[in-house]
Amino acid sequence: MAELFENIKKLCLADGTSGDESDVTKLILSMLPQECDAKIDPLGNIIVNKKGATTPKNKVMLAAHQDEVGFIVTYITDDGNLKFTTVGGINPEVVIGRQLHFKNGTVGVVGGKAVHQQSPKERDEPVKLDTLTIDIGASSKAEAEKYVSLGDCAYFRSDYTELGNGYLREKALDDRIGCAIMVDILNKNLPYDVTCVFTVQEEIGTRGAKVAAYTVKPDYAIVLETTTACDFSGNDGEKRVCELGKGCVVSYMDRSTIYDRELYRLGFEKAKEINVPCQTKTLVAGGNDSGAIHSSVGGIRTVALSVPCRYLHSSSCMIKKSDVQSTAELAYAMYLALAEK
């Protein structure tokens, strides 16, 4: 598992928001064994086919998305500050005071009106994105334009940190973890042929997955993801949703998919068979590439396997390493089961 976590680190430290995934794509391609047949489609998905010892009865596709949430510059003010919007779902409350960086090395800080200058009404209202700017230390529009242009993407500035008893935190764990698990599978000696798709533009509407599903036309799809864990102080019962340290999350429903019931049950059966922990969610929310995949072509039977993650879509996503291991092992077991099914 050491190589799996080293790959997660490398992938998280790369920058690639939706539509700007090229650096992540290059890194993933460098991690694949020579026997893989990898192609990049017009949208940017990496579609990887690898021959196994035999051709399976069913064509199985694994999918995980390359892109992360981020920011894009929309305007430069006369005094050199950058107006921006988010690429993907980011709560404005989590970005104030955060360091961001651009691929050219430019660093900035997200700023807004100081709390002691806000009216009582402003203090009571949620932070609005259009009141925030990125300060790169420029004093004029002309100076800022030397470093940044409209349409440039900015990323959370973060370090890969291991902490506590087997925890780690970093940006972009959603969904570089899924990408790293597929790289790990592709580096094995496989008993059956497999197709792995590293999708793009998931965070802005699962666009890459839809295109890839029509290209691959699998019998079954396994989507590898992270999912929101709310297991922190003050939350009890169903409000915890899922918990770090309790294993892979197998979903029965989210806002874009009602998952195949047989495959949902199979996930728990296989987890028990290989003796890894497994859980489900206690809240129907969110969505992932499954939404696009399961409703494509003539319909594709789909299961989602996720690593529980605290503080999703922030600069400090947090996961437990044991959950990554259980998800990787269950993903491989499910690939075998569906190929043979």
Catalytic sites, residue numbers: 202
Closest CA to 230 of 328, 309, 322, 112: 309
Strands (DSSP E) contained in 10-128 are 37-40, 46-50, 60-65, 70-76, 82-87, 99-102, 107-111
How deeply is 296 buried, as exposed, middle or buried, from its count of CB atoms within 10 A (0-12, 13-18, 19+)?
Answer: buried
- Both tokens of 336, joined, read 């075998």
Closest CA to 259 of 212, 225, 214, 229: 225
CA torsion angle 244 289 90 252 (round to 10): -40
Query: DSSP secondary structure string, 207-271?
Result: HHHHHHHHHH--SEEEEEEEEE---STT--GGGG-S-TTS-EEE-SB-SS-B--HHHHHHHHHHH
CA torsion angle 332 284 203 317 (round to 10): -70
What's the DSSP call for residue 192? Answer: B
